[in-house]
Structure formats: C-alpha cells, structure tokens
Amino acid sequence: TGELTTRITNDVNLVQEGLGEKFGFVFMNIVAFLVAFIIAFVKGWKLTFICLCVIPFIIAAGGYLGKTISKLITFAQDKTAASGAIADEVLSGIRTVMAFNGQAREIARYDEMIEESYVFGRKTGFILGGSIGVIQCFIFVMYCAGFNFGSWRLREGEYTPQEVLNVILVLLVGGFMLSGAAPNISAISTAQGSAARVFSIIDRESPIDPLDTETGKKVDKVVGDISFRNIHFSYPSRPDVPILKGFNLDIRPGQKVALVGESGCGKSTTIGLIERFYDPAEGDVIIDGVNIKEYNIGSLRHRIGIVTQEPVLFSTTIMQNIKWGAIDPENNPPTDDEVIEAAKAANAHPFISQLPNGYNTLVGEGGALLSGGQKQRIAIARAIIRNPDVLLLDEATSALDTASERLVQDALDKLSADRTTISIAHRLSTIRNCDQIYVVREGIVSENGTHDELVMRDGEYAAMVRAQELRQAVRADADGKDSSSSSDAGEDEEGDVDELIAKELKEQALDLKATTTRQTTDSAKRSLVEGSGGKKPKALEDSSDMYLMFRLAWQYKGSMKAAIPGAMLALIDGAVMPCFALVFSRALFALSLTDLDEVKRKTDLYANLFLVFSAVGGLAMFGRIGLFHIAGENTTRQLRHDLFV
C-alpha cells in the first residue's frame, strides 16, 4: 500500500507536470522553430540548408535525452516507491519496531532505498545537463556556419546583406525557441517514465474483479452449506510455498465451526478463500452446492460478515464506521436507531454513550483513540448491521485482555446465533461450545470433533488444551490470584479504561478544532525556525522565508560542495548570452560593410567567437545542471532521512 500511495502521489504529479503547461511550451517552441526555418528557406535556401546540417546532432541529443531520462526516472521512482512502502510499514508498526529496538535496522533499510534513488537522480542530472549542453552547443555552431557561409556567398554576390541578415535573424529566433524547448522536453521524458508505471497499474487485470456487478450468480440469501474439496493453495507472492495441501472440510448450515492449529498451518487462508480474495490452485470451494467461482463476488460478499483480530476502523465517526458495514450504505443506509441497536447487541453502546460526542465521536486514524476491546466491539456492530448469513471470525479475541475478551465473546455469541459461523482461535476457551472443531496441521485437517470428543481422544487438540491450561495456571500463580479474581479485576479495569478514554477524547476534542489547522500550516516552519534555543536572528526576524532558506543551506551544507561550483558555472552560463548578443550585433554590422576583405576578416573572427561560446556555454550548462541536480538530490536524500528518523 505504501508503494501504491507513493505512485499515486509522485508519479501522477510528474505526469501532470509533463502534460501540463510544459507540453504546451514544447509544442509552441517546436512550431516556432519550424516556421522560422520555413521562412529562412524562402529567403535563402542554400544558407538555410547549411545551417540545417547541425539538426541531426540536435535531434540525436534530444532523442538520447528522452530515452535515457525516461529509464532513469522509472528506476528512481521505483526506489522512491519502495522507500515509501518501507516508511508506511515502519510507521504503521512503530510500537513493534520500538519494542524490539529495530530503529537502526529500519533506518538502514530505508536509507538503502533512498541512496539508490539518489544514485539514479545524480546520473539523471549529468545526462540532462550533457544533452541540453550539446543542444545549445550545436545551436551556436549553427550560427557560426551561417555567418561563414553567408559571408562567403555575400562576397560572391549571390546574397545581399539584407538577405543574409534576414536568414540569420530568423534562424536566431528559431534557435532560441529550440533551446528553450530542451528543459521542457526533459519534463515530458520524466512524465513518460512515470506514466509507464501508472498505466501498468491501471491496465493490470485482476483475475477476480470485485467491481463486476453483472457476471456470475447473484444471491439474496446464503444457506451456509460450505465445502472445501481437495484444496491446494499457495499465495501469489510465495508460489513455491504450499499452504493448503489437499484440504477438505464440510460445514452444515447454521453450524458453528472452529479451526485451530499452529501459526502458518492455513487457518486464515480458508477465510480468504471463502471471501474469494484468492482462487485455489486446485480443488473447489462449494457454497450451497455451487462453485464459488460461479457467484457474483459482490453479491456473495454482501451475505458474509467478518471480524478480524486487528479490525480496521476509518478516520471518521463511530456512527459512520458502523453504517459502512451495511450491504448498501450509499443508496440504502441504515438508520441511526438501527446503528444503536447493533451497538447494543455488540456490547458497545455503554462505552459509546460515555464518549463526549457519543456516536459522532471521531475514532482517529485506524481507531487510534479507542482501546482494543472498544475497536473490536465496533467491528462486531459493523458486522451485525449487515445481518450476514455466514460469519467469519479470524482470531477476533486473541489480542484482548480477559475483561475485553468476555465482553467481545458475549457479543460474538449473540452474533453467531442462527447463522453459519467459522471461528479461528488460539484461545481454546472461546470455542468450547462449537459444534465442530477442526485441527489443521500442515495444510490438512488432522482431526475433528466436539471439544469433549477431542479431549477424550487425547490427540493434538487435547495437547493444546493441556498446554494452555498449564500456562494459565502458571500465570495465576505468578499474579497471586486465581482466574476468577482476574476476571473480576479485569471487568473493573475495562470500566476504568472506558472512563479514561472517554475523558481523554473529550479533552482532545476541545483542542482538535483549534490546533489542527495551525499545526498543519506552521509545523514545517516551526521545525526549522526553532533551531538552537528556538530563537531567530534579529536581522532575519521580518523575513522568515529567507531565514528558512539560509537555515536549509546551513543545515545541509554538505550539498554546498556541489551547489557552490554549480553557482559559479551558472554565472558563466548566464554571461554567455549577453556576450553572444554583443558579438552577434557586431557580426550583423560587419555584414553591412562595403570592404569585402574587412567583411571576411570580421565575420571569421565573430564566427570563431561563436565556437568559443559553443564550447564554454555547453560545458557551463552541463556542469550547472549536473551539479545543481546533485545538490538537490543530496538535500532531498538528507531531508527524507531526517524526517524518517
């Protein structure tokens, strides 16, 4: 998801930049160049033809620029997207990273990606500078050839001074327009590289299309007769690692079934197959006597409810989170009373009522402002409001404390009544009352039966029960109290947690409106301005933008090693055109002289100066663009590192 998000933001922005006004500028420049050469051909085709000899070199440089830049930008964007995925992964699981002291490892992993992006960016700068420098170099060569040939034909009497001036001035305008197109061509080449990646995502056809509303059998009700027949399955990301190896399972309508087993044995995979997130490599999943592939996916999923170990809540109100569980929340949303009834059935209404804004309380990103038990109960309410025919519970209570588990389990028992229920659990106490318990080992069912039958059989399930009972006994001894007193204390603790979180939400709600906008607009400036001791220099107190630029240059002064030589080359590059204008005006004046020998001497001199401008300007532009690109890439790399750290 992090990589996809990076592509949506970075790549699409680059495409927009390349196809926006810069594309218009390139089109305008090329048209102006072509019109200039047409006029020049009319005025003096021989002189124009001589000048056109440099065009193949300019086209070759532009073609190389476009092809190479497009490839390098694609590679650089791949690495940027990979670094974005790492950042998203690490920040989403920051508590886990901190708990295992993995900060240094994750920083090194992130730095590796941005370092590779920096290398590609640096190459891009020099190739861009070299190509644009070559284009400018040959434009000056064109002027040199034009003056030499024009002066020669003028002395031979073929051209008048006015005709030579007309052709050269028109070519001058055309050359300027062509050189002005070069930087914008780079932006278009960048857009091409980014567009290739964007279109590869857009054109990807999923073998399972959840948005298809026409294909397949539509159902208004699922009886709940589910069968797995000789299922073989491997995840697409790990095709060489088999998960299910001839998995068979039969579930009758209205039956409560539990799957247990060690991690990685394939329990959760069955949930994904019922939801049809994947198709098995071999075998069939049958629901109500029909192969699951024959159903319309959207219609089937409307009849299935799911509660997972880590429920996903959206950054909106509790009311809206529950409403989104309905079959058609957009066109046929549930009423507020129906939401409240679902919350009551999920044992969520009491704590919601204590919150400052009740059902209109914002839950924060991913439900961050709620406890685990509270999020789980809202997820159950979201499943209840759908009134599903099949209920999937994927370790819905494994991450909760004893008190939260009791409340959530009670809500799940209510929800699973009179519907086919498949539970995946590590806490065996939550599945004692299931109609059938299946033990999954290495992708197949190793034994099945009721809780009592499996305990009497003294097999794998019985060993799991004894192991959990032993752990609970050891924990109870360590705490100095039995499990019943733990449960009582847990209930009190849950109540305290609800009250504390309600109070915290109330305090945060008061500050949220006043602070959010200010933090968003001022945080970047404040982080730079506060610096050493949080004080600005007085001389810069009234020009904060300038201060930030100086602060940025000082903080990342390593980039100045490239920026300072780049600035010196920029001075040279900037001086080339004024000097060229001065020499060009003198060259034009020389064409109007009556002494032909003087015309030859001066035009030869000025033509040679054009060659000097060609070499100096081309090299200066190459160095300027390349060095400033290095400085920019280096600063960006350090900024990304500092922001991530």
d(CA 242, CA 283): 14
* Confidence at residue 400, expressed as pLDDT on a 0 to 100 scale: 61
Residue that has been written with the tokens 């086919």 in this structure: 420
End-to-end CA separation in angstroms for the chain: 21
Mean of pLDDT values over 563-589: 89
* Confidence at residue 273, expressed as pLDDT on a 0 to 100 scale: 92
Of the listed ranges 170-174, 355-359, 480-484, 628-632, the one predicted with least confidence: 480-484
Which of 371, 373, 380, 344 has the alpha carbon at shortest distance from 359? 344
Q: Which amino acid is at 475?
A: R
**pLDDT band (50, 70, 90) for residue 568:** very high
Burial label for 75, CB within 10 Å (0-12, 13-18, 19+), is middle
Is residue 105's pLDDT more than 60? yes
Q: What is the dihedral of CA 257, 263, 266, 268, to 10 degrees?
A: 60
Q: Kindly report, residue by residue over 598-607, the tens digit of the pLDDT.
A: 888 888 898 8
Q: Kindly report, residue by residue over 421-467, the tens digit of the pLDDT.
A: 898 887 787 888 888 999 998 889 989 999 999 999 888 888 888 88
Is residue 71's pLDDT more than 70? yes
Q: What angle do CA 18, 69, 180 make, to 5 degrees?
A: 55
**pLDDT band (50, 70, 90) for residue 519:** very low
- The rounded mean pLDDT for the chain is 79
SS3 355: coil
Residue that has been written with the tokens 């799911």 in this structure: 306
C-beta of residue 173 within 8 angstroms of C-beta of residue 603: no
* Confidence at residue 513, expressed as pLDDT on a 0 to 100 scale: 40
* Confidence at residue 311, expressed as pLDDT on a 0 to 100 scale: 83
Q: Kindly report, residue by residue over 522-549, the tens digit of the pLDDT.
A: 444 444 444 444 444 444 444 466 666 7
Q: What are phi and psi of 379, to 5 degrees?
A: -65, -35
Of the listed ranges 253-262, 411-420, 450-459, the one predicted with least confidence: 411-420
Residue bearing the bigger pLDDT, 405 or 582: 582
Name all contacts of 576-580 with Cβ < 8 Å and 24+ positions apart.
576/613, 576/616, 576/617, 576/620, 577/617, 579/613, 580/140, 580/610, 580/613, 580/617
Mean of pLDDT values over 73-79: 76
**pLDDT band (50, 70, 90) for residue 642:** confident
**pLDDT band (50, 70, 90) for residue 1:** low
* Confidence at residue 523, expressed as pLDDT on a 0 to 100 scale: 42
**Range among 16-25, 195-204, 404-413, 577-586 with highest mean pLDDT value:** 577-586
| Domains recognised in the chain with CATH numbers | 2-204+580-628 (1.20.1560.10), 226-479 (3.40.50.300), 489-545 (no CATH)
Mean of pLDDT values over 130-136: 85
Query: Tell me, what DSSP letter sits at residue 8?
Result: I
Which of 352, 277, 36 has the alpha carbon at shortest distance from 174? 36
Mean of pLDDT values over 213-237: 88
Is residue 554's pLDDT more than 80? no
Mean of pLDDT values over 19-24: 79
d(CA 438, CA 421): 13
Q: What is the model's pTM?
A: 0.60
